Copies of this chain bind each other. A is one copy, B any other.
Amino acid sequence: MWQLFQFPLCPFSRKVRLLLGEKGVGYDLVRESPWERRDEFLDMNPAGRTPVMVDDKGTVLIDSWAICEFFEETVNKAPMINGTAINRAEIRRLVAWFDEQFFADVVAPLMHERMKKRLIDRLSPDARVLREAMKLALNHLDYTDYLLDHRNWLGGATMSLADLTAAAHISVADYLGGIDWRGHEQTKRWYSGLKSRPSFRPLLSERMEVISPPQHYDKVDF
């Protein structure tokens, strides 16, 4: 059985969990707060980041990209980087888009202001930073609306790792109150479909200590 080291609001761990859920790979959750920089965790992953996966034989998988590619290569069920080489490049472009741009513009500032400041420093969030992150989130939702005007799913004709990655980051931003859904009907419909999937339900029911999500957060109809 795999163990997955993570914390409830880690978007990169959520991405991996959605993939494992779709592929039917079982795992136990181990709570890890990377900001505590626990020695045993740093010995396992010198980068000090979640997610990390470990199995009974001592195999250690590190980094959400490496982990997703590993399970894509070793588990045939529910391929999530699929199609021609060009289709696969488009899926990976969008994974990188959400892991880098959306994370840096939206998720990282929200996590810093609403989670880390509260948990670690006992400080209040900076309203200016929150406003800027929420404004950038709207630009990103304009882009996903545009993609979904032209395609069934973000990465192409079928559901892919692009959708799982986007949903992972959007769900963390939504938990932290950073998403204004008004006026983004295509993305809302797409996200509602993902929320109803069995791979997504367990994530939506979990809570991070001290921080509560908005009312609509775990509802398929929102």
Contact = CB atoms under 8 A, between A and B. Distances in A.
Contacts of A69: 88-89, 92
Given A59-B86, A63-B93, A65-B96, A101 B47 contact: yes
Contacts of A61: 86, 89, 93
Interface string A74-97: 100000000001101110110011
A66 B85 contact: no
A202 interface: no
Nearest to A73: B85
A181 interface: no
A63 B90 CA distance: 9
Given A59-B86, A85-B73, A66 B46 contact: no
- Chain A at the B interface: SS class: helix
A159 interface: no
Given A46-B143, A65-B96, A89 B101 contact: no
A85 B96 contact: no
Nearest to A67: B89
A4 B66 CA distance: 25
A73 B88 contact: yes
A148 interface: no
A93 B46 CA distance: 11
A95 to B, nearest CB: 8
A121 to B, nearest CB: 21
B63 A92 contact: yes
Contacts of A96: 63, 65-66
Contacts of A88: 66, 69-70, 73
Given A62-B93, A65-B92, 5 more contacts: A66-B92, A67-B89, A69-B89, A70-B85, A73-B85
Interface of A: 46-47, 59, 61-63, 65-67, 69-70, 73-74, 85-86, 88-90, 92-93, 96-97, 100-101, 143
